[in-house]
Structure formats: C-alpha cells, structure tokens
Chains A and B, each alone.
Chain A
C-alpha cells in the first residue's frame, strides 16, 4: 500500500519537528511526514508530489 503524505507547516520549526517525530515513531501508520516553516515549501512539495 502506498503511504499517504502528511505535511506540517509552521514557522515554529521546533514545533513542526516535534510533531513530525511523534507521528514517525508510530511505525504502524502508513504516513510519510514532511515539515516546513515556509509556505512556499508547501507549494513546492505539492508540485513534487504531483510530478
């Protein structure tokens, strides 16, 4: 099964990273997590995933 992707975007980088670490430790979840602190990064992830 293909993993779903989940993006956390927050200017508070420490918050986004901590939330991502929490989700990634749940190994049974089929989620790929990425973080960013800039909205333009979300848009580029969006484009990459859409390729």
Chain B
C-alpha cells in the first residue's frame, strides 16, 4: 500500500539503494520507500518495496504508479491539473497508398504540439517495426490493455507508455497485424473517450488505414479528417470512390469532415 500523505510535510516517495544497510535505511522516514536492489537476496524492512535497480526509467516509474494507484484519487496525486484549452480528434486517412500519410501526420502533430498537448496514435495494420518509431518498448497493445480495465489509471500510466518526438508524444504501433484487426470499434471508442477524459492531451491524432475495424465509428468522433492524396488521375479516382462511398452508405456527416491535403511526395 502507498502512503503519500503519511508524512504530511516529509518525504513522500523515497527510492534508496540497498547499498545502505537496513539499520541505516530505517532512520529515513518517507510515505513510501522503494529499495533499489541489484539482486533478490537483500533484506527489507517492513513497509519497504523492492524494485530492481537496473530496469528502465519507464519501468521504475510504472512501479511507483502501480504501488500508489490503488486509490481512486491516484491521478489527482500524481498528475498536474491542467485545464484543457481545447479537445480535438484529428483523423488522418487516405484511400491512396504510399502517399506519405504517416510523415504528414507526424509533421502536423509536431506543429500542433508547439501550442498544445498532442498525442499521436498509429492505428495502421503495419505501422512498422522501427521506421518512424523507436523499436522496442511498449505499444498501443499495452495502452488498449489499460483502457479495457475500468479501474486502471490510464492517464497516469500513459506517462510511462508514450514516446517523444520533440514536444509531440506518440504511442508506438501494434507489432502484430492480426492484433490490430481484432480490436473492435467499441474498444477504439472507449480508448479515445478515456484518453480525452483522463489524459493531459488536448489533441489526438489518429493515423488510420482501412485495416481498422468499424472505421466509420472512429471517423464519426473525429473533429476533422485529413485525407492525403497525390495530384494524379489514379489517386484522384481513388479519393472520388471513397467520397462517393461515404455518400452511398449514408455517411454524409463524415464526408463533411474531410479536408483534402496534397502529399509532398
């Protein structure tokens, strides 16, 4: 259990090396004490929590959050309260392939992140291993896992799950294409809703392709949808087909959100 308020004016959280003998450590008073250990043989005092010293910063921070997130007020405990100036969901999509959609989405995200807290999510079937995003670490699969748990502190956990490109935060894409195809529209909407309500982000950028299930449901919650195209007849024909299909299927509301963007390619 975590006691952030045990010492009302003392140290709230202490990470201390196991190199200090337990007798010495016992003199330090803190709400919650994590002992940084290099092996499992270290002796712990009552109330201390052992954490492996040489894990990543993300994992150490996640240990702190997990330990101290049992209460419903965990986000109030750790997260600065930020009043969101805006709330916007921008979809990025194109029926034309190899059009530079992800590059465009990241450029847009970086530009917007100068003025607001922006989170980029890659929902593509093949978002790439490496490429635009750092290899390894946690992915959109992990974020979906937390989003599916009603009592998880998603906003808080995000701080350990996001990568950074300048001021833009991003979540690395799912690595197995079959996994992303199995995510239902309902799950996507729940994730988006929780991200907007519980995180610090004011703008979400959703980089999508046709592999996303129930994509029209996601389009519907977008404030605007940027559609990338190339200036040639084939690309124009594909875009025309997409727009006409929206009308045919009764999605005029979605069609009105489309903003054409010409690719730099």
Contact = CB atoms under 8 A, between A and B. Distances in A.
Interface of A: 1, 4-12, 15, 18-19, 22-23, 26-31, 39, 42-43, 45-46, 49-51
Interface stretch (B73-81, B84-92, B220-228): B73-81
Contacts of A15: 53
Contacts of B25: 39
A29 B10 contact: no
B15 A29 contact: no
A29 B79 contact: yes
Interface stretch (B27-35, B129-137, B210-218, B230-238): B27-35
Contacts, number: 94
* Highest count of chain B CB atoms <10 Å: which of A4, A5, A28, A39: A28
Given A42-B28, A46-B29, A5 B57 contact: no
Given A7-B13, A45-B11, A46-B7, 18 more contacts: A4-B77, A4-B78, A8-B16, A9-B16, A9-B17, A9-B20, A9-B28, A10-B15, A10-B17, A12-B17, A28-B80, A28-B82, A28-B117, A28-B159, A29-B78, A30-B78, A42-B11, A42-B16
A45 B64 CA distance: 20
Nearest to A47: B10
A9 B60 CA distance: 14
> Which secondary structure characterizes the binding site on chain A?
mixed
Interface residues of B, number: 35
A29 B80 contact: yes
Task: Pick the 4 closest A-B CB pairs, nearest first.
Answer: A22-B57, A4-B12, A10-B17, A6-B13
A46 B221 CA distance: 49
A5 B13 CA distance: 6
B257 to A, nearest CB: 29
Contacts of A22: 57, 61
B19 interface: yes
A23 B7 CA distance: 22
B15 A6 contact: yes
A7 B93 CA distance: 45
Contacts of A46: 7, 10-11, 28-30
Contacts of A51: 9
Contacts of B82: 28
A39 B57 contact: no
A30 to B, nearest CB: 5
Given A4-B77, A23-B61, A29 B159 contact: yes
Interface string B1-12: 000100101111
B246 interface: no
A31 B28 CA distance: 19
